[in-house]
Amino acid sequence: MPNTPPALPHSASYRRALVLLLLGTVIVHTTMFLSKPVVSYRVLALGGGEHEVGLVSAASSLLPIFFAIPMGRWSDRGRVPVLLLGGTVALVAGPIGLGHAGTILGVALVNAAYGAGLLALMVGGQSVVAGLSGPGERDRNFGLFTAAASLGQMLGPLAGGWAMSFAEGESRLQATTRAFTAGAAIALGVAVAFGAMVWVLRGTAALASSTHGTNERAGHGSALALLADRQLAVAVFVSFAFIASVDLLIAYLPVLGEHYGLSPAFVGALLALRAGCSFISRVFLGVLVRWGGRLTVIIISAGVAAVTMVGLVLFSHPVLLAVVMVLLGLTLGLGQPLTMTWVVEQAPQRLRATALALRITGNRVAQSAAPAAAGGLSSLVGIAGPFVLATALLGAAATTVLPFRRRAR
């Protein structure tokens, strides 16, 4: 019989660990979503256009396509602390490198390495949530985890827009350097939050693996064979569609803002509004699932987001754009936590973190392929291209879930 680490009881330690995880997640996403739109502005400042913005945005997802599943296996085998440590180092070093990259190629290379570090933090964090959660707590805990991410996604663009607003008398390139420096400073808080969390969780199953116990088979098995489960495969695709839409929105809203004559600060405020509304919907995710069921919520949110996305290219008035961002925030925020729970419940216990990593692999394929495809589409149909692509993906996501919803009824 292998030694089984003790499960973490619902105690003060459990609550402290969850709070520290959520705090660290807020900081991770604050830094990440400060950097994402600023990367677009830096590419524009270096002479790039819409196509280059798409390629550089896609670069951050290139390495994670290959690293996600091995990281998931590491997590299943109890190496979450290693992932959290490596990711924290990358979170601090990434913005510094981006702020000193003087060519578009340099920005793309640093962005690729930065994306791999962020992946390690996401795999580790999701594995801890799975390890802390009983069957009836997953929607709630993944909702809180992604709500913390939304809070960071709200604060990040605001901080980036604020840092870049002091551009009077200096170039846009210098303004992006200052914004990246602010991001690196914020990232230092992750070391404190996650370090304290690891200390609280030391010796428990929540940190050792995502299976509430360890055995010699943990992490063993074909990751791609998991896709033979149709529900798990659809969950991965739905996650793909939602994350691609969010990434297209973040990457191309600065370009749309330049087209409409909007300031970087206002674009940052729109992105923050979207994230703030996602925060609200994720906090109440447990209530929504109890009301309508997980699959119903996915179908409605994907359908409404698909229709609303078109409004970005139909309306240029700031107030109307703000209304569109509210609707997008409330709906786009639900896809990730719902698919996390769906994947965990469909996967074998010994491969939960690996299945979550497979979902992340799909996300990174989306984040790599969608902006690049949107860049090419923009050269054909103009600025509407990325948002039309997002509409098509969200509509397809709602359609693929419908058969399972009918079967459940």
Cα–Cα distance between 195 and 193 in angstroms, integer?
A: 6
Cα–Cα distance between 128 and 80 in angstroms, integer?
A: 8
Looking at residue 397, its pLDDT comes to 95
Both tokens assigned to 61: 């997802």
Contact 350, 220 (CB under 8 A): yes
Cα–Cα distance between 166 and 174 in angstroms, integer?
A: 10
pLDDT exceeds cutoff 90 at 260: no
Cα–Cα distance between 398 and 219 in angstroms, integer?
A: 31
Looking at residue 221, its pLDDT comes to 53
In percent, how much of the chain has pLDDT > 70?
A: 89
The residue behind tokens 């965990």 is: 344
Distance set, CA 349 to CA 55, 219, 353, 360 (Å): 37, 9, 9, 18
pLDDT exceeds cutoff 70 at 213: no
Residue 334: half-sphere exposure toward Cβ, Cα within 13 Å: 28
pLDDT exceeds cutoff 90 at 392: yes
Task: Determine how many CB atoms are found less than 10 A away from the CB of residue 319.
Answer: 8
Cα–Cα distance between 308 and 325 in angstroms, integer?
A: 9
In our burial notation (b when 16+ CB lie closer than 10 A, e otherwise), range 359-377 reads bbbbbbbbbbebbbbbbeb
pLDDT exceeds cutoff 70 at 114: yes
Looking at residue 10, its pLDDT comes to 54
Q: Which residue has the higher pLDDT, 1 or 321?
A: 321
Q: Is the dihedral of CA 144, 149, 154, 156 positive or negative?
A: positive
Cα–Cα distance between 168 and 173 in angstroms, integer?
A: 12
Looking at residue 56, its pLDDT comes to 86
Cα–Cα distance between 250 and 376 in angstroms, integer?
A: 17
pLDDT exceeds cutoff 60 at 209: no
| Per-chain mean pLDDT for the chain | 83
Residues 158-192 have pLDDT tens digits of: 788 777 776 555 677 888 888 898 889 999 998 88
CA angle 256, 260, 265 (to 5 degrees): 75
CB-based burial label for 322 (10 Å; 0-12, 13-18, 19+)? middle
Looking at residue 323, its pLDDT comes to 94
Distance set, CA 368 to CA 191, 299, 358, 373 (Å): 28, 25, 15, 9
Question: The domain 12-408: what is its CATH number?
Answer: 1.20.1250.20
Looking at residue 227, its pLDDT comes to 78
Residues 320-359 have pLDDT tens digits of: 999 999 999 999 989 999 999 898 888 887 788 888 888 8
Cα–Cα distance between 55 and 58 in angstroms, integer?
A: 5
Cα–Cα distance between 272 and 243 in angstroms, integer?
A: 17
